[in-house]
Amino acid sequence: MKQDQKDSEEMDLDRPHHHQARGELEHVLTLDGDGTVKKVIWQDSTEVISVEDWRIYIWDIDVKQGTAKVRRRGCLTGSIETPDKNFKFTSAVMNPHAKEVVAVYGRSIQGWNLNSLKPFQIATGGDDCKVRIWDVRDSTAEPIMTIQDHTHWVWSVAYNKFHDQLVLTSSSDCQVNLQSIVSISTGAEYKYGDASDTERDPADEDDQVENVSHDAPTDGLVQAFDQHEDSVYQVAWSSVDPWLFLSLSYDGRAVMNQVPSEEKFKIILN
């Protein structure tokens, strides 16, 4: 019986993802670039994009074989082999509606994200402690909204892919902020009540307006999360649960949180 149990354990060790089943991390493959990796974008199970100081790599990966092959490389200026090192990439995002990688460079912008529900809208976070929302169609180069609820550099910004009025930001102030930008989101396009109903009781209409103004989401800081004790360099929304998100700090601590119930019901019921 003991021998059978031992043989069974040895067979389990040979199975793929055995460590994963035990709740342990498993090394699958390595992306061998040339510089410091600033960001990795996981497009699907066969493609990964890595952003380094002076180059962007597009990799074809095979998880089962544990291999990664460079399909394409790109740089801002100069040649691929000798890029201009005066310009460093700081972050990048993938446009989900097109095969495009959009990257930023310079020291002032540390993190940014593309609104997948409004592809012309982007959010940036910088070393001035501010988060700015931009409409790339606007030629005036002025942000449509500026948020300043952090006290140090903003390293990461993330739109909620299901409810773009919710934006996560993280900073060197050890804090993760959940912001509401409903006035410039797709949620601002919805009107409360039935506009086609021409016969209304004025008293009922007043009650409806009062309830909406009280319960509807508004712009501003929804909640600040302060469970981290070091700089928070990355925030990300769950791809399956629209109310769940994760943050990662410099000390390696990962914290999972969720949108407060009060804000969640405001969005659902309106």
Tell me the per-residue pLDDT of 242-266, one tens digit each, with 9 for 90 and over: 999 999 999 999 999 999 999 999 9
Kind and range of the H or E run holding 131: strand 131-135
With a pLDDT cut of 90, the percent of the chain lying above it is 39
User: Using 50, 70 and 90 to split pLDDT, how confident is the model at 97?
Assistant: low
User: What's the pLDDT at 193?
Assistant: 34
Task: Tell me the pTM.
Answer: 0.61
User: What's the pLDDT at 15?
Assistant: 44
* Exposure on the CB side of residue 183, measured as CA atoms within 13 A: 7
User: What's the pLDDT at 152?
Assistant: 94
Residue 75 phi/psi, 5° resolution? -140, 170
User: Using 50, 70 and 90 to split pLDDT, how confident is the model at 108?
Assistant: confident
Is residue 79 over pLDDT 70?
no
Mean pLDDT of the chain: 79
User: Using 50, 70 and 90 to split pLDDT, how confident is the model at 123?
Assistant: very high
Q: What's the mean pLDDT in 79-88?
A: 69
Is residue 72 over pLDDT 70?
yes
Q: What's the mean pLDDT in 66-88?
A: 74
* Spatial CA neighbour of 168 closest among 121, 120, 111: 111
| Beta strands per DSSP E along 76-118 | 89-95, 100-105, 109-114
Q: What's the mean pLDDT in 209-222?
A: 72
DSSP structure string for 185-231: SGGGG--SS-TT-----HHHHHHHHHHHHHHS--SEEEEEE---SS-
Distance CA 69, CA 67 (A): 7
Higher pLDDT, 253 or 36: 253
Is residue 155 over pLDDT 80?
yes
Bridge partner residues of 256 (DSSP): 246
* Spatial CA neighbour of 233 closest among 174, 177, 179, 180: 174
User: Using 50, 70 and 90 to split pLDDT, how confident is the model at 203?
Assistant: low
Higher pLDDT, 193 or 152: 152
Superfamily of domain 27-269: YVTN repeat-like/Quinoprotein amine dehydrogenase (2.130.10.10)
Is residue 138 over pLDDT 70?
yes
* Spatial CA neighbour of 250 closest among 178, 179, 177, 173: 173
Q: Which residues of 226-243 are buried (b: 16+ CB within 10 A; e: fewer)?
A: eebeebbbbbebeeeebb
User: What's the pLDDT at 196?
Assistant: 38
